Amino acid sequence: MSDSRPSRAVARTLALASLCSVVWGCASSLQSEGNLLGIITPYRIDIVQGNVVTKEQLALVRPGMTRVQVRDVLGSPLLTDVFHVDRWDYVFTIKRPGTQPQQRSIVAHFEGDRLTRIDAPDLPSEREFVASISRTSATGKTPLLELTPEQRAALPVPDKPAAPAAVPEATGPTRDYPPLEPN
């Protein structure tokens, strides 16, 4: 009889482990793209690195500008190399759920303190950039920002505020405090 109890405990443990593995296997097979049955979706953060440089910003930069002037327009470079002191690298990457990842690299070349040239790929305008990272472009839905005149007319009219109640006069002892500053 003593041999049957440990074997029953082992059998129960094995049965429980088998059941857990089957349930776990079924749950993981129901997951698609990180969500369980379309109900549980993990939060995914936006990853943005570097400076956004647009066509409008690049149009303000001219050869002959000083480093300070370039920094004022484009921002601080992401990479300044001690071995290439006459080169600033502006690198921009963004990974946002629901949109395509983007990466751009702009290189500003200097001679001394003066800008000589900028190597930049085809940059988007500010509107194009915002449209490219907007989640509404992926879903096709634009958020409602203002009510239509019909929707405004359908809103209930708010009640008029009640007249303020008369504040009773304070009763009780009054205190006479000295002034904070001498006259």
* In-domain check, residue 41: no
CATH number of the domain encompassing residue 75:
3.30.1450
Q: What is the pLDDT of residue 140?
A: 62
Q: What is the pLDDT of residue 162?
A: 83
Q: What is the pLDDT of residue 56?
A: 92
pLDDT, one tens digit per residue, over 87-122 is 999 999 988 877 778 889 999 999 999 999 999 888
Q: Which residues of the chain have pLDDT under 50?
A: 1, 31-32, 138
Q: What is the pLDDT of residue 79?
A: 84
| Structure-block tokens of residue 93 | 């990457």
Could you tell me if 20 and 63 lie in one domain? no
Q: Does the pTM of the predicted model rise above 0.75?
A: no
CA distance linking residue 67 with residue 88, whole number of Å: 10
Q: Concatenated DSSP letters for 7-28?
A: HHHHHHHHHHHHHHHHHHHHHH
Q: What is the pLDDT of residue 25?
A: 63
| Structure-block tokens of residue 29 | 């097979």
Q: What is the pLDDT of residue 89?
A: 92
Residue 106 near residue 129 (C-beta atoms within 8 A)? no
| Residue 79: CB atoms within 10 Å | 13
Could you tell me if 72 and 94 lie in one domain? yes
Q: What is the pLDDT of residue 73?
A: 92
Q: What is the pLDDT of residue 15?
A: 80
Q: What is the pLDDT of residue 81?
A: 82
Full residue range of the structural domain in which residue 101 is found: 47-135
Could you tell me if 80 and 102 lie in one domain? yes
Neighbouring C-alpha atoms within 13 Å toward the C-beta of 9: 5
Residue 57 CB partners (closer than 8 Å, separation 6+): 73, 74
* In-domain check, residue 24: yes
Split into its structural domains, the chain has a count of 2
Q: What is the pLDDT of residue 26?
A: 57
Could you tell me if 56 and 128 lie in one domain? yes
CA distance linking residue 11 with residue 16, whole number of Å: 9
Could you tell me if 22 and 79 lie in one domain? no
Could you tell me if 22 and 98 lie in one domain? no
